[in-house]
Structure 1
Amino acid sequence: MAADSIPKKGKTNVAHIGWERFDSLKQDAIDLSSIARQQITGSQFLKFIIDEYQGVAKTGFMQKLRKENESQEDK
């Protein structure tokens, strides 16, 4: 492998999502590929999910944390 083909630090990151989530994501990408009749990778699908739904997920997560904190304070 040529030195110039190795990504420089900061150009790529890895987040471990677990094998079960990865398999589910991969299967969804395969299903989408079949419907679209073009290859969709798990990474492409995950990027779409993040780009389109990250704000909604952040709001939902904050609500969940608030409820958990409120229930802890009631004890």
Structure 2
Amino acid sequence: MEDILKLVENYGLSLVLLLGSLYALYRFFFFSIHEVKNTFSKHHEKNASNMEEIKKKIDIILEYIRKK
């Protein structure tokens, strides 16, 4: 706590608040990127499995057509 008070005394409250807000924005930015990446990767995995099911159904339909 004394270190923070010394920083405020030496550099001024505005600079300390600026650095704190920049750090918070930095953390929020990378947290947001990480969450978006995870969300989209889960979404793409789900779509890939759905496409595999559709391909299997199309193959069944094609086999049925070929038999006739």
Same fold (TM over 0.5): no
Q: Which has the higher helix share?
A: 2
Larger Rg: 2
TM-score of the superposed pair, with normalisation by structure 1:
0.33
TM-score normalised over the length of structure 2: 0.36
